[in-house]
Amino acid sequence: MNKEAIDLILGQNPQLKDKRQAFEALKPGTYCWHRSWGVGCIQEEDEANGRVVIKFESQDEPRSMDVVFFVQKLEVIPETHILVEARKHPELIKDLCKHNPCELAVRVFKGMPNHSASGLELENILSHVLSQTLSEAQFKHWWGLLQKAMVKDPRICTPKRKTDPYQLREEPVLLEQEILEDFYLTRRPLEKIALGAKLYQLADSIDAIRNDLPQVLEELTRAIQSAKQLTQAQRLEGCWVRNNLARYLHENVEELMPTSQSIIRESENLSALAEDLPHTYYPRFLDLLTRTYTDPNEWKHIILGLLKHSNSRLTAECVNFLMERDCRDLLKNALHKWLQEQSLRSSVLIWIIRHRNHPNYKDLLSGLMGVRLLNCIFQAIDSDALNVAPGRRIALVEEVNNDATLIADLLKDTSLVLAGDLARSLLMNQGFDTLKKRSLMARFIRIFPELQRLIDTKDSSTEERLLVSQASLDAAKQEYLSLINEKIPANKAAIAAARELGDLSENSEYKMARQDQSVLLARKSMLEKALNHAQVINFGEVSTEKVNVGTKVTLQDDKGKDTVYVILGAWDGDPKKNILSYQTPLAKEMLGKTVGESVHVPDGQTLKIVSISRWDK
């Protein structure tokens, strides 16, 4: 725009006096940026009407815009900015994109204040720079590669935290030297181990830190030996990181203390150690066990124990490790034994489900397929439901629900009676929601149409849900876990021990143990049914317009004496504190009534409700 036109606008809009340079830049060929519309280029200038015509790359038609609106809402892109360069020299940008992506990032930083940008800013600018070169999917892949490349570029300081920006350095610094500096400065053993792992990942340029390796190894060893806050898994990982680096000095790593084998021998719980290890270390961990426990029978027994209690990734590693070492028969016998004991856990069950038809494992798993396995699956899901937080996904439930042929495969050649028992177990299982139960029951009914009656019976039931507090639900779950994990197994052991004492007809210990078993199993059955119908209620959200579960009610007799009752969940009653379960007769008499209504109490009195408030702990 010319000076006269700018002076006229600024005279009418004195608040824009600091925008003179922006007005001066308004001429055809100038590039601009809008937060929503992206990059645009001025095509025409209409000084008489104070408007400019802009063609935005994101829009099909040019847009006429008031110049005052322009300088308030848009930014003029300098001629030297990479966005302009990308429009004027697209072949150069395309070549950098392919062969030197970090140079593109450097050019972005040079055009930014303080030569820095957040990851989101950098990604956003580069997506517009390359919008005519890469598709959206291609850019996403390219951006991931660029992030990895920038870590190794000595010109760019990458953020250590997500909230930190990328920064263009005044002087290039090798990544190895930057990591070394952080390594020497930190006093946290776990961070030292992580930084040591980064140094090893840069092994192609190890010469840059070769002179520092002795001190690095010494500090890593000290961290592994003396840090009390490290877990055994973290110490083992630190040992491996140190050994990886030590090999560049031709060290005999088996002589460096502590050794990886010594950490294994010190560990009381190898399953817990394995769970804490990054999954990339699993093959190395299993191999270490064979070198620590040189007796084949010993390491095979240990790895089978790990498999039995493994998570999903470790499960596959243990199976393949044993198969590769000709332990197929040993593995097969163990799986059959665990099936007979009904002690197969979720991760192993998921692996069996997924691999039952795989050519490499079909012979291994064929003898497991049947109703016993399905019963084991339902038991594992029931147990998992008691151990996960409310609303959390249960992996085995999803696996069973998503496998369209599993139920048919496991019910093949079974009887209606056994199928009916399993169907009832499914309907009572608290790990499945209603929709999943219906879906799985449909698969049962497809094979055994007679089981439709179970659905009809259940649908016609008038059994109510149990309203409970979260605290009482947690207590019931804890009691159930104590029953199935401690008391019932202990009772089985007591029965077995008493049976060994001889003549059962005169064996009082055996009779007492069997009586205890009846009580424990009855309690287990009752808890299973109750937990299956339990529904947590949030007492903090109940209405106080009338008496509800979760309200505090004040009753007044004809002499003006007040008595306060609290009505809570089915398992929350405490008569000594006037806390009533909503299932008690007095609570039922009060529920649904409002202030002013009468309540008939069991002793024959008639009391009046004088206030209703929300119960507060």
Q: Structural domain boundaries of the chain? A: 3-76, 82-168, 176-363, 369-462, 464-536, 539-614
Q: What is the largest CA-CA distance in the chain?
A: 118
Residue closest to 336 by CA, chosen among 303, 370, 287, 310: 370
The ranges of the chain with pLDDT < 50 are: 459-463, 504
Domain 3-76: top CATH class: mainly beta
Q: Which amino acid is at 179?
A: I
pLDDT value of residue 584: 87
Residue closest to 68 by CA, chosen among 54, 51, 85, 92: 51
pLDDT value of residue 432: 87
Residues 197-235, buried b or exposed e (16+ Cβ, 10 A)? Answer: bbbbebeeeeeebeebbeebbebbbebbeebeebebbbb
pLDDT value of residue 203: 61
pLDDT value of residue 480: 87
pLDDT value of residue 374: 93
Residue range 437-473, pLDDT digits in tens: 889 999 999 999 988 877 665 544 434 578 888 888 8
pLDDT value of residue 534: 83
What architecture is domain 82-168?
Answer: Orthogonal Bundle (1.10)
221 in helix, strand or coil? helix
pLDDT value of residue 393: 85
H or E element, residue 468: strand 466-468
pLDDT value of residue 456: 64
Residue range 403-446, pLDDT digits in tens: 999 999 999 888 888 888 888 888 888 788 888 888 999 999 99
What's the whole-model pTM score? Answer: 0.55
CATH 1.10.287.180 assigned to domain 464-536? The reply is yes
Q: What topology does CATH give the domain 539-614?
A: Chitinase A; domain 3 (3.10.50)
Q: Which amino acid is at 214?
A: P
